[in-house]
Amino acid sequence: MDETVAEYIRSIVQKIPRKEIKTMLQKWGFLSEEQLQAIDFGQIKENIACDVFQLCEGIPGNIKEAAVLDMISSSCKHKSCFFFSFSCVTEKEIVYFDIRDFKKKFKRKLRSALGNVTINFREYEDNEIWIRIAWGTLYREPNQYRASYVVYCSCTPYVFISLSKYRSNLPLLCQALLAASNSYDICAMDLQGHCLNSLKDIVHARSNQNFQTSYSEPLKEHSVEPETGTVEENRKTNEKKRRMNQQVFGDGPLPKLEYAQYKLQTMFRSDPKHSISYQKEQFRCLVKLSSPDLLEALKSMAATSMVDAPVSPLLSCLPHRPRNHFRIKDKTD
């Protein structure tokens, strides 16, 4: 194997958590079981990566094998990429999906527009296809360290794209997807995030957030000792908040979103006769709420009365819409 390819494999291994390296290499299947047994996975990650580098140098291979390892590690890491959600629009429902035809059309369209590009595919369960694209130019080889990823769900209209720093190539990528999927349009969904599984759950309506207003089974009543005064009033208030919180967020785990962004276009509300800051023109502002797990944070805050319950529909509707980017304007007279 070429030294530059082996070096790229070493860099991939270094990005994998140490306790997951052996599992990733076994899924990769490029190294034999005897070669894996020769690696001491208890040593520091840098030494493990060097051992893998030395083994790969002595095995025939090319960038295709390295790309497969890159896709395996990227699909397993929780925060490896930042994905944008899109929806493909077709004239008729696809009855049969031909993966070979899809790959052929995708490569042909992308290479006709930008010849110096590396494209790799990997198929997963649930008709999910990972596409890895390393972009080059007329004068430069494809940059393997800044690859873009496309996750295409062949049984649904949804596609998730992570572009790294090559966001100017998004139109070319969308054209290739349209040609390969036999669609006539592709629409951005204003849904973005690092956790790909949560994005898929939201667009496929697989999350447990159901926005119920009634329940098939009545809530169980717990026997309590008679209480009077403030204690009884607080108990009733807390029970009411709990019920409202349950109706909004449901009982199960929520999809993981890191932020919600609201672009507002509004006006000052002050009286023009008493305020020097009054303006007739609209002004714009950006409100962004962020958390490692935004929906769970909102659910906890409502349950502990840190915010008023029920939570505003602008926040609780994130998976229901589905989106986490909003544009809000004042109503005009």
| CB hemisphere CA count around 286 (13 angstroms) | 6
| pLDDT score at 183 | 87
Residue that is written with structure tokens 């809000």 in the block: 328
Question: 53 and 88 share a domain?
Answer: no
Residue that is written with structure tokens 């430069």 in the block: 140
The answer to whether 162 and 51 have CB atoms below 8 angstroms apart is no
- DSSP symbols for 192-217: EES-HHHHHHHHTT-SS----SS-SS
The answer to whether 81 and 196 have CB atoms below 8 angstroms apart is yes
Q: Quick check: is 158 in a domain?
A: yes
Structural domains in the chain (count): 3
Question: 52 and 67 share a domain?
Answer: yes
**Pick from 10, 95, 91: which is nearest to 54 by CA?**
10
Q: What is the pTM of this model?
A: 0.79
The answer to whether 8 and 53 have CB atoms below 8 angstroms apart is no
Helix (H) or strand (E) holding 271: none
Question: 190 and 95 share a domain?
Answer: yes
Between CA 189 and CA 210, with CA 212 as vertex, the angle to 5 degrees is 35
| 112 contacts: CB under 8 Å, gap ≥ 6 | none
Q: Quick check: is 212 in a domain?
A: no
End-to-end CA distance of the chain: 69
Question: 70 and 125 share a domain?
Answer: no
Lowest mean pLDDT among 37-46, 202-211, 222-231, 323-332: 222-231
pLDDT one-digit tens code per residue, 235-288: 666 676 667 766 667 667 788 888 888 888 877 666 666 555 555 667 788 888
Q: Quick check: is 114 in a domain?
A: yes
Say which amino acid occupies 6: A
| pLDDT score at 223 | 45
pLDDT of residue 221 exceeding 90, the answer is no
Q: Quick check: is 39 in a domain?
A: yes
> Domain boundary residue among 38, 55, 76?
76
Residue 218: pLDDT band by 50, 70, 90 thresholds?
very low
- Domain with 124, as residue range(s), is 83-203
- DSSP symbols for 20-66: GHHHHHHHH--S-HHHHHTS-TTS-HHHHHHHHHHHHHTS---HHHH
> Domain boundary residue among 76, 98, 128?
76
Q: Quick check: is 297 in a domain?
A: yes
117 - beta bridge partners? Answer: 135
Question: 127 and 192 share a domain?
Answer: yes
Question: 264 and 321 share a domain?
Answer: yes
pLDDT one-digit tens code per residue, 43-68: 999 999 999 999 998 888 889 999 99
Helix axis angle, 229-249 to 294-303, nearest 10°: 160
Question: 178 and 103 share a domain?
Answer: yes
Question: 295 and 186 share a domain?
Answer: no
Question: 54 and 102 share a domain?
Answer: no
> Domain boundary residue among 76, 103, 136?
76
d(CA 135, CA 117): 5
| pLDDT score at 219 | 39
pLDDT one-digit tens code per residue, 76-133: 865 568 899 999 888 777 667 888 999 999 999 998 888 789 999 998 877 889 999 9
Say which amino acid occupies 241: K
